[in-house]
Amino acid sequence: MIPTLPDSLELSPEQFRNLVEMALDQLVPHLAGVADLPLDGTAADPDATTIMAASLRQALPASGTDPRALLADLVGRVVPHSFTTISPGFMAYVPGGGLLHAAVADLVADTLNRYVTVWRAAPGLAEIERTVGRWLCDIIGFPASALGVLTTGGSLGGLSALITARRARFGDAEFRHAVIYTSDQVHHAVTKAAVQIGFAPLQLRSIPTDDAYRMRLDALAAAVAADRAAGRVPFLVVASAGTVHTGAVDDLRGVADLARREQLWLHVDAAYGGFFCLTARGREAMAGIEAADSVVLDPHKGLFLPYGTGALLVRDAAALQRAFGGWASYLPRPDAGWDGLDLCDVSPELSRDFRALRLWLPLKLHGIDAFRAQLDEKLDLARWAADALRAVPGIDLVAEPQLSLLAFRLVRPGRTEAELDALNRALLDRINARQRVLLSGTTLGERFVIRMCILSFRTHRERVDEAVTIVREVVRELASG
Ligand SMILES: *Cc1c(COP(=O)(O)O)cnc(C)c1O
């Protein structure tokens, strides 16, 4: 006889409702106080953070725990030891978003838990996936032949782009002589992806950039010519539409012309910058993006979604199919006459979440203009911050904002580069120690610089003002101390 289980895994309607409400009981107050949380919750008491982290290394539980206590512990004790990425003061790295509509969409998608990778299994939901991909193609100006596929982020989008390009050019043939060109400002995810799919580091060329950190077209042309002369096969060029260092946007039209002449696949890494195409200024800065063969966008950056949503757009949908197509007898068979798209035919994933709902719901609820206005505001804020920082005595604006990211550095006459690096690291530490904004650093050439990236939907003029005031005060402190 099969024993009946005392506690079923099925939640009753009340239990489900209660569990969601318990989660909300934690989340709503957390959100209400988020603007005043320390920006780096790991800095205040590193020992406490270490103890907290160690306390979570627990054995697989044999029995259950009270849900209210669990959720309270997570949100109240564990989460405070983190970077407050959802704060309006978060301007480090590339800010992610965290639109609440997307969280609700995830609840809906996960509760429905339909299978979206095979069209036949959920035609309407599969169409939503395809439609959202189409919307992203429209945003950058890709033609009807293009296809957009949601990934978990920009890194996997870039990896899929490189696989698609490689298969389009070489099929099953070997690619030992193929060469990939990127600028010296490229995101490391791109070079990492190239190596992951079997390119040797010797097959990658790092093209120098100009004084605005844009890929030098003359150097690119020279490198391609030198490789051809040496019998190698120039194959792919990666342009950046918003580098992670300074937000630089390559001359996309110039790179596209060269790519066409040289028959290179043009991939544009627009993970950070791409959604600024929604604005007139961004569109102008990224003119030529529509001529790419593939583009990566990160909705978890420029569309303010929670982490876990990237996108790969490919001009020729058939190239995606050649790279990722495949069928097996155990999958549902397509109906005769259908024109649906099986996502598993155009992406490396098979089973996956109903990802598109996270974009579809906020976009349907607000319309794209609300996002456009937010992004326009970020461009204004970065412009304003740049002007205000330039006016701070000693601050050198190393990189003007081409989009919503800028880089600066404190300079003092007569100091060595090493001393200036130490000075700027101290400046960054002191800015962040105020816990009202979080900035981050990077190196340009050998120089350490501080970057400010404004991209959260919660960041408005007030907090940017505060950031500039803090920089001004800390610069003064450093001068007197
Ligand atoms: C964020 C970013 C990536 C990596 O994307 P993930 O979503 O973090 O995987 C790649 N390129 C650029 C320019 C980025 O800003």
Q: Is 162 within the bounds of a domain?
A: yes
Give the residues surrounding ligand 1 with Cβ less than 6 Å away: 94, 153-155, 187, 189, 242, 244, 269, 271-272, 298, 310
Residue 64 neighbours by CB under 8 Å, 6+ apart: 7
Least confidently predicted of 306-310, 387-391, 476-480:
476-480
- Shared domain for 58 and 117, answered yes or no, is no
- Shared domain for 182 and 289, answered yes or no, is yes
**Residue 340: what pLDDT?**
82
What number is the average pLDDT over the span 83-105? Answer: 97
Q: Is 1 within the bounds of a domain?
A: no
Q: Name the residue range of residue 79's domain.
A: 15-84
- Shared domain for 337 and 409, answered yes or no, is no
pTM of this structure? 0.97
Count of domains for the chain? 3
Chosen domain end from 335, 367, 399: 367
CA–CA separation, 259 and 134 (whole Å): 25
**Residue 328: what pLDDT?**
84
Q: Is 95 within the bounds of a domain?
A: no
Kindly state the percentage of the chain with pLDDT values over 90.
94
* Test site for ligand 1: of 185, 187, 213, 304, most ligand atoms within 8 A of the Cβ: 187
Kindly state the percentage of the chain with pLDDT values over 70.
98
Q: Is 79 within the bounds of a domain?
A: yes
- Shared domain for 291 and 427, answered yes or no, is no
**Residue 332: what pLDDT?**
80
Which residue in the block uniquely carries the two structure tokens 């005595």?
A: 393
- The token duo for 410 is 């404190």
Q: Give 277 Cα–ligand 1 centroid separation in angstroms.
A: 17
Q: Give 298 Cα–ligand 1 centroid separation in angstroms.
A: 7
- The token duo for 406 is 């800028």
Which DSSP letter does residue 4 get? P
Which residue in the block uniquely carries the two structure tokens 């150097």?
A: 219
CA-CA-CA-CA torsion sign (412, 414, 415, 417):
positive
- Shared domain for 455 and 310, answered yes or no, is no
Identify the CA nearest to 389 among candidates 462, 455, 461, 472: 472
pLDDT for residue 312 is more than 70: yes
CA Rg value for the chain: 24
Chosen domain end from 367, 392, 418: 367
Q: How far is CA 222 from CA 185, 229, 350, in A?
A: 18, 10, 42
Q: pLDDT digit string (tens) for 254-304?
A: 999 999 999 999 999 999 999 999 999 999 999 999 999 999 999 999 999
- Shared domain for 115 and 39, answered yes or no, is no
pLDDT for residue 5 is more than 60: no
Taking residue 326's Cβ as centre, other Cβ atoms within 10 Å add up to 11
pLDDT for residue 144 is more than 60: yes
Q: pLDDT digit string (tens) for 326-336?
A: 888 888 877 76
Cβ atoms of 297 and 133 closer than 8 Å = no
Query: Which ligand 1 atom lies nearest to the CA of residue 272?
Result: 15
Q: Give 338 Cα–ligand 1 centroid separation in angstroms.
A: 36
Q: Give 191 Cα–ligand 1 centroid separation in angstroms.
A: 12
Following CA atoms 368, 373, 376, 381 in sequence, which dihedral angle do they give, to the nearest 10 degrees? -140
CATH of residue 418's domain is 3.90.1150.170
Q: Give 162 Cα–ligand 1 centroid separation in angstroms.
A: 15
- Shared domain for 404 and 417, answered yes or no, is yes
Chosen domain end from 351, 367, 383: 367
Residue nearest (by alpha carbon) to ligand 1 atom 15: 272
Query: Which ligand 1 atom lies nearest to the CA of residue 243?
Result: 13
Which residues, listed in sequence order, are joined to residue 453 by a DSSP beta bridge? 405
- Shared domain for 373 and 455, answered yes or no, is yes
- Shared domain for 337 and 214, answered yes or no, is yes
- Continuous segment of H or E residues that includes residue 51: helix 46-55
pLDDT band at 364, cuts 50/70/90? Answer: very high
Determine whether 445 is exposed, middle or buried from the number of CB atoms within 10 Å of its CB (0-12, 13-18, 19+): exposed
- The token duo for 40 is 């780096």
Q: Is 301 within the bounds of a domain?
A: yes
Taking residue 317's Cβ as centre, other Cβ atoms within 10 Å add up to 19
Residue 442 neighbours by CB under 8 Å, 6+ apart: 244, 245, 246, 407, 448, 449, 451
**Residue 195: what pLDDT?**
97
Q: Is 97 within the bounds of a domain?
A: no
Q: Is 439 within the bounds of a domain?
A: yes
Higher-confidence position of 388 and 4: 388
CATH of residue 224's domain is 3.40.640.10
pLDDT band at 338, cuts 50/70/90? Answer: confident
Q: Is 96 within the bounds of a domain?
A: no
Which residue in the block uniquely carries the two structure tokens 């590193």?
A: 46
- Shared domain for 356 and 404, answered yes or no, is no
CA–CA separation, 150 and 301 (whole Å): 14
- Shared domain for 60 and 121, answered yes or no, is no
CA–CA separation, 68 and 22 (whole Å): 6
Q: What are phi and psi of 84, to 5 degrees?
A: -85, 80
DSSP one-letter string for 110-154? HHH----SSGGG-HHHHHHHHHHHHHHHHHHT--TT-EEEEESSH
What's the helix, strand, coil split of the chain in %, to 5?
50, 15, 40
- Shared domain for 171 and 251, answered yes or no, is yes
CA–CA separation, 425 and 184 (whole Å): 23
What number is the average pLDDT over the span 195-200? Answer: 97
